[in-house]
Amino acid sequence: MSALEIYQFNCRSDNFGVLIHDPDIGITASIDAPDENAINEALDQKGWTLSHVLLTHHHFDHVEANIALKQKWGAIIVGNQADQDRIPGIDIGVACGQHFDFGTHKAKFIDTPGHTIGHVAIYFADQKLLFTGDTMFALGCGRVFEGTAEQMHKSLSVLAALPDDTVVYCGHEYTLANAGFAMTIDPENSALVERVAQIKALRADKLPTLPTSIGQEKSTNPFLRVDDARIRQRLNMENASDVDVFAEIRRRKDEF
């Protein structure tokens, strides 16, 4: 069994497109469907044929190309069964906690409500590969539009419990703005300071800051560090619950 090949590209204003390709079988999935033309161009560049679209959530900038990709390629649209009424063109609904067989690889649909109620992360355990959509970003997390802070905190905790060397792809290039905010919450964290310098250098060259890893996020992403003593002290929340600390950091980010 060969490793999945990954191709990440920019599209829309700040979305990432990602193609995953199983070279043994010759199938290719798009993670979300943000932009028909950008996805078709990426497929052309790689010489791959689109077989599937695997969706993290129903927002417009993640599903807009579903129908067009289905028409052009006959791609099979796969999403969270519980949210199928909101996913255009869905062919296969996968229950949270269950796997979708992508060729010889198993894609686990992990329930990650918060940004939306039906949001899932897509996890290939055998490849140590995770697609977090708009739940976790590099140095950040998605806005809590539909769920509660408690749900979002739990969703992030589930992802943070995956192995440190899990490679993480996210839905947007928000890292530079997230870095500026993270420095207001955790400025004495030397791992964060070092990472922010790397991010600034990458963005100055217009290079992507993704993928990241679970280990890197655990050491630098303030939304995964709500139990950190220095952060709690800075927020004056030494004795607060993890959820309350998370909610406060999210509230500050919303106003940042």
Residue closer to Zn ion, measured from CB, 8 or 127: 8
Size of the site for Zn ion (CB under 5 A): 2
What is the distance between the alpha carbons of residues 155 and 31, in angstroms, rounded to a whole number? 19
CB of 142 to Zn ion, least distance (A): 6
Residue closer to Zn ion, measured from CB, 112 or 189: 112
172 binds Zn ion (CB under 5 A): no
Indicate the angle between helix axes 149-160 and 242-255, nearest 10 degrees.
Answer: 110
Q: Phi/psi at 138 (nearest 5 deg)?
A: -60, 120
CB of 220 to Zn ion, least distance (A): 22
CB 30 within 8 A of CB 40: no
**Residue 99 among the catalytic residues:** no
3-state secondary structure at position 250: helix
Cβ-Cβ contacts under 8 Å for 23 (sequence gap 6 or more): 2, 5
**Residue 57 among the catalytic residues:** yes
**Residue 59 among the catalytic residues:** yes
**Residue 62 among the catalytic residues:** yes
CB of 58 to Zn ion, least distance (A): 8
64 binds Zn ion (CB under 5 A): no
Encoded tokens for 239:
């004795």
Paired residues of 9 in beta bridges: 17
> Residues 99-127, buried b or exposed e (16+ Cβ, 10 A)?
ebebbebebbbbbbbbbbbbbbbbbbeeb
**Residue 61 among the catalytic residues:** yes
Residue closer to Zn ion, measured from CB, 28 or 112: 112
Q: Which stretch binds Zn ion (CB under 5 A): 89-97, 131-139, 172-180, 226-234?
A: 131-139
Choose the catalytic residue: 22, 32, 52, 57: 57
Q: Which stretch binds Zn ion (CB under 5 A): 23-31, 90-98, 129-137, 204-212?
A: 129-137
Q: Of 64, 83, 134, 173, which lies in the binding site for Zn ion, with binding defined by CB under 5 A? A: 134
59 binds Zn ion (CB under 5 A): yes
Residue closer to Zn ion, measured from CB, 170 or 185: 170
Encoded tokens for 10:
């920019």
Q: Which stretch binds Zn ion (CB under 5 A): 29-37, 56-64, 175-183, 214-222?
A: 56-64
CB of 134 to Zn ion, least distance (A): 4
> Nearest to residue 58, comparing CAs of 92, 95, 33, 76?
33
Angle at 92 between CA 91 and CA 93, to 5 degrees: 125
Question: Which letter does DSSP use for residue 239 in this model?
Answer: T
Residue closer to Zn ion, measured from CB, 64 or 134: 134
**Residue 115 among the catalytic residues:** yes
Residues involved in catalysis: 57, 59, 61-62, 115, 134, 172
**Which chain residues interact with Zn ion by CB under 5 A?**
59, 134
